[in-house]
Amino acid sequence: MLKRNTTYLAVVLVFVCVFVFLFYAGDAEAKEEETVTVTAEQLNFRLGPGTRYYAMDALESGTSVEVLAKQDSWFLVSLSDGRTGWIHGYYTTGSSPETKLSLQGIAKVEITASSLNIRMGPGQEYTAFDQLQGGTEATILAEENGWLLVKTRYGSTGWVYSEYTRTLSQEVTVTASTLNVRRGPGTSYEVVEQFEQGTAVKVLQESNDWMRLFLDDGSTAWIYGYYTSDAGDSGSGRDDDASQAPSRGGRQYLQGRTIAIDPGHGGRDPGAVGVTGLQEKVVAMTTANKVAGYLRAQGAEVVLTRSGDYFVSLARRVNIAHNAGADIFVSIHANSHPNPGISGTETYYYNYGGNAYSSRKLARLVQNQMVSESGLRNIGVKHGSFYVIRAPWIPSVLVELGFLSNWNDENLLKQDWFLDGQAQAITRGIINYFN
């Protein structure tokens, strides 16, 4: 049975309505500078900003659309029938139209229903093109009559019914004697208020160390996150295992730790090969370098079992970790299966060694973060007898980021933003392990 929203969601949505009203106030018709006209004979109208996204329709030449947001050369647009989607700006008049919405969004929500339709427009009369599973997070871009325009972790956009979502927030405490509250995320923006030391603040979004929040009048403002500390759980209802460790808080847990990161395969061993030729060794190396960078930024010593495209034996990988005095060992891989429909993320540990309990704990924490970050199916934490998790005398796990044999997974594994997100997720899992 579907759960309905808390009172808190209702209050936040009121704020969201006020915020969105600031964008939509004025004439009912879109301003001329916010519209473009299709110049191609037919222009694909897609679910997301790229040709890999499904084309829901084709717009005829001369069709006028309202531009809501931009990403590179792609426009998020609204049609006259209320549908929203993406078109390529090259095939329209006007090179730089004004936009109403920021793709950074104004808040994040979590789906509270077991599954929730995501539609092409704000109402049940619009076609549902996908379902978001319970626990999935999305970014709110706008609100209209109880419907939320959201951006999913895959980059696609659509509308969900707000009754079956929960707005997420993180509570932080101001540590500076006074902290400026600014109109935007930077010191060049106007100061609109000041918070005293000890003030507890609910944050809806973080961007480059700046935090976005709602003021009492419903408008949004920003504070610099460096002068805050965590004030406890965000109230999202998750276990501590799944809570995101903020980047500024990891140093106290990783300082003095040595972590072995093992990019799977390499050299003459490409590992699995994707449906369009993407090699596992490339995915593993790219992700491992990102993880290493994030861990080092938090004060950890990192040893990579390979630093380039060359072959390293399994025994040598384990010896590198032991010789470095590593505290934990994390091996990074991408999966494959004869059934191309299989998709998802999983993490392995060895259940019969002296480090079984610690390895299982590390695997669970990393897996939770990867699933939360990617939105891929949670295949789970499993026992495995792979040499690189069986042989080490330290807690060890092997992560499978996704399936190269699945078209959608492989497409994500090609994207730098996706691998970067998974690298951050693995880092948060490691931080949580040492916390």
pLDDT tens column, 47-85:
889 887 888 899 999 999 999 999 888 999 999 999 999
Q: Residue 354's pLDDT band (boundaries 50, 70, 90)?
A: confident
Predicted local distance difference test score (pLDDT) of residue 21: 44
293 in the same domain as 397: yes
210 and 279 within one domain: no
**Per-residue pLDDT at 228:** 80
Domain finish residue from 237, 262, 282: 237
pTM beyond 0.75: the answer is no
pLDDT tens figures, 194-247: 888 888 887 777 766 788 887 777 677 888 877 887 654 333 333 333 333 334
Average pLDDT in the 389-415 region? 93
Rounded CA-CA distance 189/92 in Å is: 33
What CATH number has the domain bearing residue 396?
3.40.630.40
Same domain? 31 vs 44: yes
- Please tell me whether residues 408 and 278 are part of one structural domain: yes
Residue 358: closest CA among 397, 324, 323: 397
CB 264 within 8 A of CB 271: yes
Residues 335, 281: one domain? yes
CA angle 422, 355, 282 (to 5 degrees): 30
CATH number of the domain bearing residue 219? 2.30.30.40
What total of structural domains would you count in the chain? 3
For the four alpha carbons of 139, 142, 146 and 147, in that order, the dihedral sign comes to negative
Q: Which of 110, 143, 400, 410 is catalytic?
A: 400
- Look up tokens 């209209």; give the residue: 144
Structural domain boundaries, residue 208: 170-237
pLDDT in tens, 266-299: 999 999 999 889 999 999 999 999 999 989 988 8
Domain termination site, one of 196, 221, 237: 237
Report d(CA 397, CA 126) in Å as an integer: 44
Strand pairing category for 345-349 and 396-403: antiparallel
Reply yes or no on whether 400 is catalytic: yes
